[in-house]
Amino acid sequence: MGKKNKESSLKKAVIKNNKGISISYDREEIKKNLPHLFNELKKSNQKIRINGITDSNEIIERSDEIFNPGVEDFIRRCSSQEEAYDILDYLLKREKISEKEYNTLKKRVKNEGIESFGEKKTWGYYERKYRARK
């Protein structure tokens, strides 16, 4: 490499992507106009891992309680033990719960009551809980 080519390569910032495409920019111009970008380009081999972003809308979309309610979610809608037994019978018949889980939950309803599953889910429960706060 000649002296002139070496000097010009030191004045250029080369950005390459994983497909082998490269773009070169004048280093001094980037440093002057975009100092933060210049520092990022200088440290291009550093990586930051982002595990996730929390957003109230994303929480609503991912909530199992809304889209995949479980046995306890259904029982929390009940007003009486008889309604809870009907729900359990239905879920067993549809093979959504096992015989063992059915017996355990039925015993819990009988001994501890439907209140043991949590606060009753009344009309508007999901809107009150998940509505985006302004």
13-63 pLDDT, tens digit each: 566 666 666 666 677 887 888 888 778 777 765 555 656 655 555 555 556
Q: Does any domain span residue 49?
A: no
Q: Does residue 134 register a pLDDT over 70? A: no
CA 100, CA 132: separation in Å to the nearest integer?
39
| In-domain check, residue 123 | yes
One domain for residues 33 and 94: no
Burial 103-125 (b: 16+ CB within 10 A, else e): eebbebbeeeebeebeeebeeee
**b/e map of 78-89 (b: 16 or more CB within 10 Å)?**
beeeeebbebbe
> Is the pLDDT at 73 greater than 80, yes or no?
yes
DSSP helix/strand/coil, 24: strand
Looking at the whole model, is its pTM more than 0.95?
A: no
Domain that holds residue 112: 56-130
* Domain count across the chain: 2
